[in-house]
A and B are shown apart, each in its own frame.
Chain A
């Protein structure tokens, strides 16, 4: 079993839709949770960072962490074609290496 599981997609939605991206994990020591966005032929860039459980909002993006269920989510409101990219979840136990999911490819059509 992989430490971090993520559906590879692709996930296709129309412009303006609400997008839900998810990851599950098995290591209960993970405390730091991140979402990265990766455009084609580019390096990942950090979108959201959350420590422990709870919600965090930044513009159209909301990150949720449920440690009891070992489940994290990223919601994108009013999705735009420019949001089309691969979204990678990543997590760490602190002072430990980041463990990435496989990434979910998102396609937002105009």
Chain B
């Protein structure tokens, strides 16, 4: 079974530029998550999708971050404009459903450096 795919693996940009990350979840997984993991910290949920719909985006900085999941499969996370404090690893995860507990499978992450 193929895992969660993410691209690019690494990205370096200047502050105020824009950047986009792509995620392809495990086939058949209805729920998709985007996490931000700052160096030395645990992952923090940015947004959770159930199929096409947003379940939780309470911690997404909506003035600069946006995410979409068209057709309930792939997802894109965008930052515009980027700030220095956005430097982090952006992890995508997926799970079969969104019950009281469903194992989340993580991708390798995209490491973003904002200069």
A and B are partners in one complex rather than unrelated chains: yes
Which A residues contact B (CB, under 8 angstroms)?
Answer: 4, 6, 8, 31-32, 41-46, 49, 51, 88, 90, 92, 94-95, 97-98, 100-103
Closest to B56 in A: A97
Contact check, A100 vs B43: say whether CB atoms are below 8 A apart: yes
Size range of the chain B interface in the assembly: 20 to 34
Contact check, A46 vs B103: say whether CB atoms are below 8 A apart: yes
Task: Tell me what chain B mostly uses at the interface: helix, strand, loop, or mixed.
Answer: loop
Contact check, A43 vs B4: say whether CB atoms are below 8 A apart: yes
A-B contact number at CB 8 A: 54
A102 to B39, alpha carbons, bound, how many Å?
9
Task: Tell me what chain A mostly uses at the interface: helix, strand, loop, or mixed.
Answer: loop
Which B residues contact A (CB, under 8 angstroms)?
Answer: 4, 40-45, 48, 56, 91, 93, 98-101, 103-109, 111
Contact check, A43 vs B107: say whether CB atoms are below 8 A apart: yes
A97 to B55, alpha carbons, bound, how many Å?
10
- Please give, as numbers and ranges, the residues of chain B lying within 8 Å of A88 by CB-CB distance: 42-43
